[in-house]
Amino acid sequence: MSRKTLRLPAIEVKQSAGRTLYSFAVNGKAIPSFATISRIKRDNDELTGYQRPEVLSHISEIRKYIESESPMIPNAVVIAFDSRVKFEPDSDQENNADSRSGKIVIPIDTEEHNEDKPGFIVDGQQRIAAVREASVASFQLCVTAFVANNVNEQTEQFILVNSTKPLPKGLIYELLPNTESVLSTHLHRRRFPARLLSQLNSIQESPLKNLIQTPTNPNGKIKDNSILKMIENSLSDGALYRFQGYLDDELDEESMLKLMMNFWAAVSRVFATAWNKPPRESRLMHGAGIVGMGFLMDAITDRHRRIKIPTAEQFAEDLLPLREVCSWTNGYWDFGPDKKLKWNEIQNTSKDINLLANFLLIKYKQLVWSKRQEPSGSKNPNQLSIFGAAEASSKQ
């Protein structure tokens, strides 16, 4: 193995209790020798990494600029190091000083696998790639670094650095479940719904497994934001609300997931011919359909409120009468006098979502709630065959 040590002049800055930053300059072409990019991916349904793929057109533009006359890149790249990287203060520095000069010591092993390198690039991926490819002998880059052995801390810093930039929201939402630190109010509010989404998309028995489109599952049929809206609505004042306490550790995540999996299992069978299709072919898989059906999940759960979680059979029994009035894949939605829309004219707008949700709730009240007074959980003679009947061809 070829090992060496890179020693660079640096400044150590104690920013807050337990938080220390290191600022130094280094030839950008040398950075790939000690730092790598942890690209976001899934390994056995577990999310790993946190970086977005390189944007080639942007890299090309930066490279051309670097190759021009008198280029300057003033903003620093951000690198997270593990504990193998050390800071050696100059001998005349005070230990308790808020900042002090010295040397940052970075071990380099040229035969090391990328994932074993001591540094991970948190911000500046494209700038580093541009310097790497530029036809210049060297190009000094400013670096701000911190030491974090935990990949969760690296992920949190990646989110905080990039949340103010045009980073895909889906990528941030998919990363949120892996964070624990204090984030902005908006991100904190979406962290738990994002965790539920991740579970629904990965649990083996979930009817939504791999159906939700995310950066690591681009072939999913249902937009992640539609599922997030459905979950957030229910957490706010719907079926999922009753499974949460006043504190985060009082959230009954298992019951929430069970309820949603039972409901969507019933939906997938009652509306089988509209299920697992692209949104352009089925409004059930469309944002309006997902959010509207979420309100229906809340209403059915409320009708069965004397039990903790309705079974998939109970959800299916309540959904079956609605099959004749839903036009998910063909026909027209009959919203009342002079208000008919072709099945695919429903759009993912607040107006159309409310129109569809109100239609589903009114039809549910008319066809199911007002006609079924038997106690929740009582046996219906046809209940055991409900899924078989649901899979028959129907108008959707």
Return the pLDDT at 216. 81
Tokens of 153: 């801390």
Q: Which long-range contacts (CB under 8 A, 24 or more apart) does 238-244 make?
A: 238/294, 238/295, 238/297, 238/298, 238/301, 239/297, 239/298, 239/301, 239/302
Per-residue confidence in pLDDT tens, the chain, 396 aa: 568 899 999 999 998 777 899 999 999 999 999 998 764 455 565 555 544 555 677 788 899 999 998 899 999 999 989 889 999 999 877 777 789 999 999 999 877 677 788 998 888 888 999 999 999 999 999 999 988 866 677 667 767 666 555 556 666 677 677 666 655 566 667 788 988 999 999 999 999 999 999 888 889 999 999 999 999 999 998 999 989 865 555 688 999 999 999 999 999 999 999 999 999 999 999 999 999 999 999 999 999 989 899 999 999 999 999 999 999 999 999 998 888 999 999 999 999 999 999 999 999 999 998 776 544 444 443 333 333 433 343 334
Nearest to 300 by CA among 310, 308, 292: 310
DSSP secondary structure letters along 320-357: GGGGGG--SSSSEEE-STT-EEEGGG--SSHHHHHHHH
Per-residue pLDDT tens over the stretch 155-185: 677 676 665 555 566 666 776 776 666 555 6
Return the pLDDT at 338. 81
Return the pLDDT at 328. 97
Return the pLDDT at 295. 96
Sign of CA dihedral 243, 245, 251, 252: negative
Return the pLDDT at 391. 39
Return the pLDDT at 388. 41
Return the pLDDT at 257. 96
Tokens of 71: 């280029």
Return the pLDDT at 389. 37
Instruction: Give pTM, 2 decimals.
Output: 0.59
Return the pLDDT at 316. 97
Q: Give 1: exposed, middle or buried? Use CB within 10 Å, 0-12, 13-18, 19+.
A: exposed
Per-residue pLDDT tens over the stretch 262-288: 999 999 999 999 999 999 999 999 999
Return the pLDDT at 113. 72
